[in-house]
Amino acid sequence: MTIDEKVRKTLTELGVLDAAGVEALFAEVRSAMEQERSNLVSRGAASEAEREKLSKALRDRWLARKNGLLSKIDDQWLKTAAKDLKPFVGRNFNALRQESAALEVSALMQVVPLGLHVAIREESSFSDSASADVGHVTREVPQDPTLPGNRRPLGSLHPVTQIQREIEEIFLQLGFRIEGGPEIESVYYNFDALNIPESHPSRDDWDTFYVNSRTVLRTHTSPVQIRAMEKYGAPLYIIIPGKCYRHDNPDASHSPMFHQIEGLAIDTDITFADLKGTLDFFAKKLFGERIRTRFQPSFFPFTEPSGEVAISCIFCGGKGCRVCKESGWIEVMGCGMVHPQVLRNGGIDPEEYSGWAFGLGVDRFAMMKYDINDIQLFFQSDARFLEQFSA
C-alpha cells in the first residue's frame, strides 16, 4: 500500500493498534517525505519557471489545506484515533508538521538549462533512522560533452629505471638473459662464495648491514653470479640488475641503497678479449660511437685478473673538464675474468669453462647521462625533479 492509500484509511483500518505501530507508520511517512524532497533537489529544473512549478507541486501535495497528505493524516489518523493512542499520534503528527518545513526546496534546486543530465549514485545524506534503509539516492549532475575531459597527469619511469632498461636492452640484444636474486642475502653468497676472505674490509660491520651474523643486505649484485651458476650451470650469459645496500652515510655521491647491474658470461674459451670487446660495444651503444674505453688493472677477490673500466669523458670528449677532473676519463665499472675458485664454488669446472664478469653502478650511470651532481635527488621523490625525466 502506498502512502497515498494509507492516509485515506483510519488507524484501525490499517491495523495500527498500539504505540509501536504508530511509531512505525509515521517513520514510513517521514521517510517518503524526505525521499520525495531529496529526489526533487537532485533532479534540478530546466528553467526557473519549472523550478517554481515543481517545488510548489511538492508543497501542495504534502501541505495543501484541502487534500494535502498532512491534512489527510490529521483527519484520518489523528481525529479518529482511539483515546489511549491519541496523545501518541498527536506527538508524531506535530513532529511531522515541523519536519515538513524542509519541503520548501526551490532555493536548493539547480536550474540546468541544457537539459543534459547524467545520473550518478551518491551516498544518501539521510541520518534519520527511518530513512536509513533508503541507502542510496540517484543524483543527476549536469554534463556538457563539448567540454574537454579531466586530464590526469601520467607518471613516468624513474630515471634510474630508464637507464637500467636501456642497459638491459643492449645486453638482451647480445643474447644475455636477465636474472635476479634476493636483497637479503646470506653471508656465504655475498662474501664467502665470492672468495672474499673473512679479513676483507668490506665484511666489516661499518661497511655492511648485518641482519644477523649469517645474513646481510647484499652489498653488491655479485652473489647472484653463484646462485645462477648453481641453478643453470654453464654456458651462462646473464645480467643481474638490482638494489644493493651499504653502510654509507648519504651524501652527494653515496646512498645506503643504490643500484647495480652485474654481467656474467661463462662458456668454453672465454677470454679477456671477449670482455673488452663486449664492454667497448656496450659503452658505444649507450653513450655513442665516439666513446672510447680504457682498461686498467685492479683487484677484486672474485676475478683474476681484475680490471677497472673507464670511458672517455662524455662531457668534454676526453679533453679534460670539471666532471672528469681534467683527466679526460671517467671510471665506470669493475670487471675481470671469473676467479677459478668462484667457478668451482658455483659448481662449474674451471678446467672446462672460463668466464668474465663486470659490475656497474646504475645510479652513477644515470648521474653521468643526465649530468646530475647529487645521487640523493633520485630517492627524494620530489616531483619537480622527477618530472624532468618523463618521456
Give 154's DSSP letter.
P
**Does the footprint of ligand DAH cover residue 335 (CB under 6 A)?**
yes
**Nearest residue (beta carbon) to ligand DAH:** 359
Which residues does residue 336 pair with via DSSP β-bridges, in sequence order? 306, 357
Interaction mask 292-331, ligand DAH, x per CB under 6 A = --------x--x----------------------------
**Does the footprint of ligand DAH cover residue 220 (CB under 6 A)?**
yes
**Of the listed pieces 60-68, 108-116, 146-154, 351-359, which binds ligand DAH according to CB under 6 A?**
351-359
**Does the footprint of ligand DAH cover residue 262 (CB under 6 A)?**
yes
Q: How far is the CB of 162 from ligand DAH (least distance, A)?
A: 22
**Of the listed pieces 33-41, 154-162, 332-340, 373-381, which binds ligand DAH according to CB under 6 A?**
332-340
Q: Which of 38, 222, 255, 293 binds ligand DAH (CB under 6 A)?
A: 222
Number of residues that bind ligand DAH (CB under 6 A): 11
CA distances from 53 to 44, 109, 265 (A): 12, 12, 84
**Of the listed pieces 157-165, 319-327, 333-341, 365-373, which binds ligand DAH according to CB under 6 A?**
333-341
> Looking at 130-280, which runs of residues are DSSP E strands?
136-142, 177-178, 184-186, 210-212, 215-217, 236-245, 257-267
Give the phi and the psi of residue 380 in degrees, each rounded to 5: -100, 0
Question: With left for phi above 0 and alpha for psi between -120 and 50, is residue 122 left, alpha or beta?
Answer: beta
Q: Which of 160, 357, 368, 375 binds ligand DAH (CB under 6 A)?
A: 357
**Of the listed pieces 2-10, 249-257, 334-342, 366-374, which binds ligand DAH according to CB under 6 A?**
334-342
Nearer to ligand DAH, 92 or 303 (CB): 303
**Does the footprint of ligand DAH cover residue 336 (CB under 6 A)?**
yes
CA distances from 11 to 6, 18, 29, 45, 79 (A): 9, 10, 14, 37, 10
Q: Which of 353, 359, 363, 368 binds ligand DAH (CB under 6 A)?
A: 359
Q: How far is the CB of 224 from ligand DAH (least distance, A)?
A: 10
Residue that the C-alpha cell 618523463 belongs to: 390
Nearer to ligand DAH, 149 or 201 (CB): 201
**Does the footprint of ligand DAH cover residue 191 (CB under 6 A)?**
no
Q: Which of 176, 237, 358, 389 binds ligand DAH (CB under 6 A)?
A: 358
Q: How far apart are the first and last CA of the chain?
A: 64
Helix axes 272-287, 159-173, angle to 10 degrees: 130
- Give the span between the Cα atoms of 375 and 253, in whole angstroms: 5
Q: How far is the CB of 357 from ligand DAH (least distance, A)?
A: 3
* Sign of torsion over alpha carbons 383, 384, 388, 391: positive
**Does the footprint of ligand DAH cover residue 278 (CB under 6 A)?**
no
Nearer to ligand DAH, 179 or 262 (CB): 262
Q: How far is the CB of 147 from ligand DAH (least distance, A)?
A: 55
**In the structure grid, which three cell numbers stand for residue 69, read together?**
497528505
**Does the footprint of ligand DAH cover residue 159 (CB under 6 A)?**
no
- Give the span between the Cα atoms of 264 and 175, in whole angstroms: 12
Residue 386: CB atoms within 10 A of its CB come to 17
Taking alpha carbons only, the member of 122, 112, 96 closest to residue 34 is 96
> Residues in the site for ligand DAH, rule: CB under 6 A?
220, 222, 262, 300, 303, 334-336, 357-359
